[in-house]
Amino acid sequence: MKKTILLTGGLGYIGSHTCVVLEQAGFRTVLLDNLSNSSLSSLDGIERILGYRPVFYDADIRDRGAMASLLKSNDFAGVIHFAGLKAVGESVESPFEYYNNNIQGSFVFFEEMERTGLRNIVFSSSATVYAADNTLPLTEASKLGTTNSYGTSKLTLEFVLRDLVSAKAWNAIALRYFNPIGAHASGYIGERPKGVPNNLLPYILDVAIGKRERVGVYGDDYDTVDGTGVRDYIDVNDLAEAHLAAIQKLLASPTTPLPVFSPSPPAPLLSEEMGAKSSFQAINIGTGQGTSVLEMIENVRLASGKSIPYAILARRPGDLGSVYADPSLARELLGWEVKRSVREAVGSSWKFVHDNR
């Protein structure tokens, strides 16, 4: 019998790709989404890829009654928790909204998970949990610290999950991923930002299709390959496969704790309450390599055949010159590593945007 995995935020950019990967690996998925930052077109795309439509619930994780009913009426083996607001800039302007959605909503959801005895969870965390003054590459032992409400919400929930491991014998993996890009090779699902894109590649793609005039490049005097900011961009299909590896790890041996590498808090986060060991582990999901803004613009030019106008602007306060991961722990603990290049990811993104504009 297939094991059933609940994906909160399952129709979002990363959730929809993870749904496809899990279904193709032999899992049954149930998708939960309030459609605030997604649409039913993603469900249509998933159906076109798989040949069938996964079960979908239109509900909000803050709705306790709906969460209780959903969790009681299904026999879930585990949860992958994507649901939450995700724009860094927006979070600076609207902290209450982010804390209400991401933190309070997760509190409600976690409480209902506990009431039904569901304690296996893969959490969608972020590289924004790392402090700005770390040396590179970022490892799981790098100093933690946030500069925006989005990052604070992710780090807060990591600490909540650590406490649930200690007190309630949960099993939790937090995947701290860097900059997802790309789309499914079919062109049926991909990133669909609402309004002005918050991330670099979708904005460049908007310029490529003529929707926007030019790309603003914030700073060209960083200590990088060409002076522009460098980030670690990971193909969303590789990222989806990391979630598959993580849920397989949790379900294959839930009584065998993962080694604990994270320094916060320093005590090993292993619990033997209720007769079984449990664990929390944060794991970086990135490529270990950086791509600059100008390199990304060139990748889009090559993929699209379009000229990409850009203008050099002043640095933005708080921006860092380079951010990239050390992904070796993911390889060691999950047997996962990237398979796709940045250029391939840009190509699939262009195909999705071109085919669906």
pLDDT tens track for 256-269: 444 444 444 433 34
Query: What is the predicted pLDDT for the residue at 255?
Result: 44
Residue 18 inside a domain? The answer is yes
Bond prior to 265 in cis (omega within 30° of 0): yes
> 277 pLDDT band (50/70/90 cuts)?
low
Specify the higher pLDDT residue, 275 or 281.
281
Query: What is the predicted pLDDT for the residue at 262?
Result: 44
Q: Give the pLDDT mean for 172-188.
A: 97
Query: What is the predicted pLDDT for the residue at 269?
Result: 42
Range of the domain at 172: 4-183+235-286
Alpha helices (H) in the chain, listed in sequence order: 13-24, 40-50, 64-72, 88-93, 95-98, 105-115, 149-168, 200-208, 236-252, 293-304, 328-334, 342-356
- 295 and 289 Cβ atoms separated by less than 8 Å: no
Specify the higher pLDDT residue, 88 or 191.
191
Closest among 157, 129, 62 to 285, alpha carbons compared: 129
> 1 pLDDT band (50/70/90 cuts)?
confident
Does residue 276 have a pLDDT over 50?
Answer: no
Residues 6+ apart with CB under 8 A from 61: 8, 32, 34, 67, 83, 105, 106, 108, 109
Query: What is the predicted pLDDT for the residue at 89?
Result: 82
Residue type present at position 188:
Y
* Confidence (pTM): 0.93
DSSP assignment of 223-241? SSSSSS-EE-EEEHHHHHH
52 is catalytic: no
Query: What is the predicted pLDDT for the residue at 263?
Result: 43
Query: What is the predicted pLDDT for the residue at 278?
Result: 67
Q: Give the pLDDT mean for 317-339.
A: 96
Cα(257)–Cα(273) distance, rounded to whole angstroms?
13
Burial class (CB in 10 A: 0-12, 13-18, 19+), 93: exposed
Residue 230 inside a domain? The answer is no
- Given 98, 150, 188, 233, which residue is catalytic? 150
Cα(161)–Cα(315) distance, rounded to whole angstroms?
36
Mean pLDDT of all residues belonging to the chain: 93
- 356 and 190 Cβ atoms separated by less than 8 Å: yes
Tokens (6 digits) for 203: 């904005």
- 185 and 278 Cβ atoms separated by less than 8 Å: no
DSSP assignment of 70-103? HHHSS-EEEEEE--S---HHHHHH-HHHHIIIII
Query: What is the predicted pLDDT for the residue at 245?
Result: 98
Residue 223 inside a domain? The answer is no
Q: Give the pLDDT mean for 121-144.
A: 97
Residue 140 inside a domain? The answer is yes
> 221 pLDDT band (50/70/90 cuts)?
very high
Q: Give the pLDDT mean for 224-237.
A: 98
pLDDT tens track for 32-55: 999 999 999 999 999 999 999 999
pLDDT tens track for 240-260: 999 999 999 999 864 444 444
Residue 214 inside a domain? The answer is no
Residue 171 inside a domain? The answer is yes
Specify the CATH number for the domain of residue 23.
Answer: 3.40.50.720
Residue 337 inside a domain? The answer is no
Residue 240 inside a domain? The answer is yes
Does residue 153 have a pLDDT over 90?
Answer: yes
Q: What are phi and psi of 250, to 5 degrees?
A: -65, -40
How many structural domains compose the chain?
1
- State the greatest distance between any 2 C-alpha atoms of the chain, in Å, as a whole number: 62
Query: What is the predicted pLDDT for the residue at 111?
Result: 98
DSSP assignment of 258-307? PP----SSSS--EE-GGGS-EEEEEEEES-S--EEHHHHHHHHHHHH---
Lowest mean per-residue pLDDT among 3-7, 47-51, 191-195, 260-264: 260-264
Q: What are phi and psi of 116, to 5 degrees?
A: -100, 5
